[in-house]
A and B are shown apart, each in its own frame.
Chain A
Amino acid sequence: MSVISFSRTILKNLFSKPVTRLYPAVPREYPARTRGQIGIDIDSCIFCGICSKKCPTGAITVDKAATSWSIERFGCIQCGACTEVCPKKCLSMLTNYTDPQPKKSVDLYTKTPAEPEKPVEVSPAEKKEQ
């Protein structure tokens, strides 16, 4: 009978463990492909600006002179277009989502310029030999 058919489902649900998890006590594990947010390895970035040109929402700004890369987290739609075109593959899609924020903010990453290598001192005598 139809009444009994749903009672079976109810009884099954009563004695099985809940299908939901006790978030945030039990954190969610994201699959590897989850499009959470864009991450950048700023040290290998060459500031070519292709990502900002390809971004459909214009969330990425690249400043070559200041060696900085910034992203509007609320403007990003996690399409992954930037990670596909990045020539140095320094952009990546992270699985975790951005934290909730009370204000729209811009995340700025600046590359600290590496110490310029000191030219090796060459004595005038050695120079002559060369």
Chain B
Amino acid sequence: MATRSIVPFGPQHPVLPEPIHLDLVLEDETVVEAIPSIGFIHRGLEKLVEKKDFNEYVYVAERICGICSFMHGMGYCEAVEHVMGIEIPDRAKYLRTIWCEMSRIHSHLLWLGLLADGFGFESLFMESWRMREKILDMFEYSTGGRVIFSVNKIGGQRKDMDDEMIRNFVTILSGMEKDLRLLARTFLDDYAVKSRLQGVGILTAQQAHDLGAVGPFMRASGIALDTRKRGYAAYGDLDFEPIISNIGDSYARTDVRINEIFQSIDLIRQAAAKIPAGEVAVPVKGFPKGEYFMRVEQPRGEALYYVRSNGTKFLERMRVRTPTFANLPGLIEVLKGCQLADVPILILTIDPCISCTER
């Protein structure tokens, strides 16, 4: 029998942008068990809801994570808007959709870069992040911030984009699409890349379903489920289908995410063609009373916001269930039986966002 040993992985590790710790139980070089422990960067943001006015909490909500900051702010705002029965203007809904999809592109490009860095393809990493920089610049032009946008508020948006700006963005994105096709070819056809990704960390559709996986991690296993299809913001008016793959390995997850970038560009194009004129916000009066569950499709998967309020300016409870948290059981499953050298890549393929998870 092979000797068993335990190798600690993280919280500080070159592939991890954020701290998570795994105890890997190895038999020679093969992982037989992985025991995660989280809680290194807990900030108590949910508790803060009792101290901050529900309008001010938007600024806290968008600081839950630095990558999907827009969607966290939006998810919280939509939850409170549902409690208060506020119908936001159509233009605000379309603006939310455009910014959401831009966030998705930027998050997926960031992930592609991290993945390339993970398997040691340095120039591919630089190439992905160079492209992502354009999206960040677009965010700065439209919202004034590159990471934290502060454009969401309860009742609509705080900033508007004029038609010229939207047209410019669509032109930039169309140009990016060409570069991205070239980049996608390297990610999907290159021999070296394929040898690191194909057949590694297979998660079957049944496992993904049983372990409650979400987002591209689940869709790569063949489950066509996308929360955007529920039609929040302006997604109800747009034409798209969830992108899936039936293979379920790391290569499939890369494939799904790359195709989601193209889908996002297409969604922005559709939204830019349909965006109506008008106001971007409605005035909000009174305090929320009631509770609501809001589901939002983030780049990493479905996030859940629960809001409960009692009619005062402070909410009683606000809870976020983030996609990384839902994907951790799936990660533990795919780690079993893999080689130690594949562990960093497998952890990356769930696109872990630990700040979100620990809040």
Q: Chain A: residues with CB nearer than 8 A to chain B? A: 2-3, 5-6, 8-10, 13, 19, 30-31, 33-35, 56, 77-80, 84, 93
Contact = CB atoms under 8 A, between A and B. Distances in A.
A8 B145 CA distance: 34
Interface stretch (B76-84, B186-194, B334-342): B186-194
B59 A79 contact: yes
Contact of A35 (B56, B144, B182): B144
Contacts of A31: 140-141, 144
30 contacts: A2-B186, A2-B189, A2-B190, A2-B191, A3-B190, A5-B182, A5-B186, A5-B190, A6-B123, A6-B186, A9-B127, A9-B182, A9-B186, A13-B127, A19-B130, A30-B140, A31-B141, A31-B144, A33-B142, A33-B143, A35-B144, A35-B145, A56-B56, A77-B148, A77-B150, A78-B145, A79-B59, A79-B150, A80-B150, A93-B144
B52 interface: yes
Contacts of B142: 33
B119 to A, nearest CB: 14
Interface in B120-163: 123-124, 127, 130, 133, 140-145, 148, 150, 158-159
Nearest to A36: B144
Interface residues of B, number: 26
B160 to A, nearest CB: 11
B185 interface: yes
Contacts, number: 59
B190 A33 contact: no
Contacts of A19: 130, 133
Interface string B165-187: 00000000000000000110110
Contacts of A77: 59, 148, 150
A80 B158 contact: yes
Nearest to A5: B185
Contacts of B186: 2, 5-6, 9
Given A10-B123, A80-B150, A80-B158, A2 B141 contact: no
B138 to A, nearest CB: 10
Contacts of B144: 31, 33-35, 78, 80, 93
A50 to B, nearest CB: 14
A36 to B, nearest CB: 9
A34 to B, nearest CB: 5
Contacts of B182: 5, 8-9
Contacts of B124: 6
Nearest to A6: B186
Contact of A2 (B123, B143, B159, B185): B185
A77 B124 CA distance: 34
Nearest to B181: A5
Nearest to A31: B141
A77 B150 CA distance: 10
Contact of B140 (A3, A6, A34): A34
